Amino acid sequence: MEAFSDGVFAIAATLLILEISVDSPSQLTHIWPAYLAYVTSFLTIGIIWINHHHTVSLMGRVDRTFLFVNNLLLLTIAFLPFPTKLVGDNLQKPGERSAVLAYAATFVLMAVMHQVWWQYARRGRRLIGDNVPESALRSVDLAYAPGVVIYGIAFLVAFASPLASVLLTFAIAAFYLPSAALFDR
């Protein structure tokens, strides 16, 4: 499972760049929304990948349902290059609200799937390794808990200000996620 998951994370992050294009080099500074969306999506995928990896290391077994849920989680992550391009192409332009709503909705979906993925493994220690202490599980609980809420807020903010929503998503990836992440616990 890890080889396929690692591959999808690394490929999705690296494909993001293919979604940036510019008509002429003189426009290179005008397409800052594309850079902002690129950096936001890349950093988020990197951190989710680290969390995914750490959490898998706590598991002692996998089952059929979990592999299917893992596929669904990867499906949402592999989807990210599409709304990232939408934001890069449309931010500060007429269609920006729909574009950013699609972007934020993708992050909400990723957070929901990650939570489902974790709760399935953790409930009754269904897939947890025998020697893993409860404190390690609570640490993951704390790291995953706020995801749906904070991306839900970014979704709501998009109605008021699409740019503010993207900046909030960037700030989550640059400041909140790294400190909440499971990096070296």
Is the Cβ of residue 74 or residue 128 nearer to its own copies in the bound state? 74
- For residue 1, give the 3-state DSSP assignment: coil
DSSP string for residues in 18-58: GG---SSGGGTTTTHHHHHHHHHHHHHHHHHHHHHHHHHHT
Q: How far is the CB of 2 from its own copies (least distance, A)?
A: 8
Listed ranges 78-86, 114-122, 131-139, 153-161: which one lies at the site for its own copies (CB under 8 A)? 78-86
Q: What type of residue is 7?
A: G
Minimum CB separation of residue 148 from its own copies in Å reads 21
Q: Which is nearer to its own copies, 149 or 183 (CB)?
A: 183
> Of residues 163-182, which lie at the interface with its own copies (CB under 8 A)?
178, 181
Which of residues 9, 144, 151, 155 is near its own copies by CB under 8 A?
9
To the nearest whole angstrom, how small is the minimum distance from the Cβ of residue 74 to its own copies?
7
DSSP string, 64-109: HHHHHHHHHHHHHHHHTHHHHHHHHHHTTSTTHHHHHHHHHHHHHH
SS3 133: coil
Query: CB of residue 108 vs its own copies: minimum separation in angstroms?
Result: 15
Site string for its own copies, 83-102 (x = CB under 8 A): ---x---x----xxxxx--x
Q: Does 142 bind its own copies (CB under 8 A)?
A: no
Is residue 109 near its own copies by the rule CB under 8 A?
no
CB 72 within 8 A of CB 113: yes
- 116 near its own copies, rule: CB under 8 A: no
d(CA 143, CA 51): 9
Cβ-count burial of 46 within 10 angstroms (0-12 exposed, 13-18 middle, 19+ buried)? middle
Can you tell me the distance from the alpha carbon of 54 to that of 59, in angstroms, rounded to the nearest whole number? 9
Give the footprint of its own copies on this chain (CB under 8 A). 2-4, 6-18, 20, 22, 24-26, 28, 38-39, 42-43, 46-47, 49-50, 53, 62-64, 67-68, 71-72, 74-75, 78-82, 86, 90, 95-99, 102, 178, 181, 183-184
